[in-house]
Amino acid sequence: MLRFFYFAFACLLYSIWRAVDLLVQIELTGEYEQTPLITAENTLTLLKKETGIG
């Protein structure tokens, strides 16, 4: 049951990440490309700066 929760939670986070990326791309460029503008590296860098962890 716990593995299913982890899987479902990871799918939810991925979907949210892609939706935010889509909205940011449309807002900044007016069009959507399949390659993500917001990468995992960018997100981790931002989190490290904001939280001081890492």
CA 45 to chain centroid, in Å, comes to 12
Question: CA 18 to CA 43: how far, in whole Å?
Answer: 12
pLDDT at 6: 97
Amino acid at 26: I
pLDDT per position in the chain (54 positions), as tens?
Answer: 899 999 999 999 999 999 999 999 999 999 988 888 888 898 889 889 999 886
Tokens of 29: 């460029």
pLDDT at 53: 83
Tokens of 10: 């990871």
Question: CA 21 to CA 37: how far, in whole Å?
Answer: 6
pLDDT at 35: 87
